[in-house]
Amino acid sequence: MAIVGEEYCAAEERVLTVRKTSHFSPGDGFAAYDHRTGRLAFRADTYGRGHGGGAASSGELALLGPSGEALVTVRRRRPSLRHRWEGFLGARADGQKPLFSARRSSILGGAAAGAVVELLTPIPSSSSAAELRVDGSFPRRCCRVVAAKADSGREAVVAEIRRKVDEGARVVMGRDVFVLRVSAGFDAAFAMAIVLVLDQIAGDVADGGDGGDDTNSIGIW
């Protein structure tokens, strides 16, 4: 399922180690590394708090490739009672139509409110996955992206987020470092875009307050 590009759809499962960064302010930005090669695969930077330049304008979040090329630009749509976000292919230009729209599914509630994502630009291969949802808790770094295949009616896990485990020390690392598993054939760049949207909509729950049995539910049509 290519959404951002065919080059991000690997023939085998792709495992990324994702780290939240604080280049601009605490909690802003991500860096994702390929588990097999150890190389930087994606990074995301926020330019919304007095930091200009780069691929994104004020108030936007840019998903970049390893060379700094803009893959997806995410921005909050205002005014919005449900924290609606829009994603644009590449570096957003004036008048450009969004690739997808994301919003919190309920006006009330925080991390447990869930979200809905809609593809707004026709994707030739989207018929193979008419619906996606995120089951589990993103703040706890324990959730999965499930796609319902229109041709068979079956569901398949296309991406999964889990806490990172230090195998040597046999300890679970903090929530600032986690693992994103992307199934074979699914767009890894779009999977990272979903991560950015979940982080912006749900927000991080402060240490010691995971918010109970919070669940994010996302559907893409």
Count of the separate structural domains present in the chain: 1
| Long-range contact pairs involving 98-103 (C-beta distance under 8 Å, separation at least 24) | 99/3, 99/72, 100/193, 100/220, 101/77, 102/197, 102/201, 102/218, 103/201
Question: Which has the closest alpha carbon to 162: 195, 191, 140?
Answer: 140
Examine the pLDDT at 12 and tell me if it is beyond 90.
yes
ω into residue 79 within 30 of 0, thus cis? yes
The percentage of residues in the chain with a pLDDT greater than 70, rounded to a whole number, is 64
Q: Which of 56-60, 145-149, 178-182 has the lowest average pLDDT?
A: 56-60
Does 211 fall in a domain? no
User: CATH code at 126?
Assistant: 2.40.160.200
Does 193 fall in a domain? yes
Does 217 fall in a domain? no
49 band by pLDDT with thresholds 50, 70 and 90: very low
Query: Residue 120's domain spans which residues?
Result: 13-202
The torsion defined by the Cα of 173, 27, 30 and 200, in degrees rounded to 10, comes to: 110
Does 4 fall in a domain? no
| Mean predicted lDDT score pLDDT of the chain | 75
**The Cα angle at residue 28 between residues 177 and 39, in degrees rounded to 5:** 50
- What are the residues facing 55 on neighbouring strands? none
Does 212 fall in a domain? no
- What are the residues facing 162 on neighbouring strands? 179
For residue 145, the model assigns a pLDDT of 84
182 band by pLDDT with thresholds 50, 70 and 90: very high
- pLDDT of 107-118, one tens digit each? 655 554 456 667
For residue 53, the model assigns a pLDDT of 42
Return d(Cα 165, Cα 186) in angstroms, integer. 24
Most confident by average pLDDT, 78-82, 101-105, 122-126, 171-175: 171-175
Examine the pLDDT at 167 and tell me if it is beyond 70.
yes
Amino acid at 88: F
Does 107 fall in a domain? yes
Does 67 fall in a domain? yes
Question: Which has the closest alpha carbon to 182: 171, 195, 170, 191?
Answer: 191
Does 220 fall in a domain? no
Query: Using an 8 Å Cβ cutoff, are 18 and 31 in contact?
Result: yes
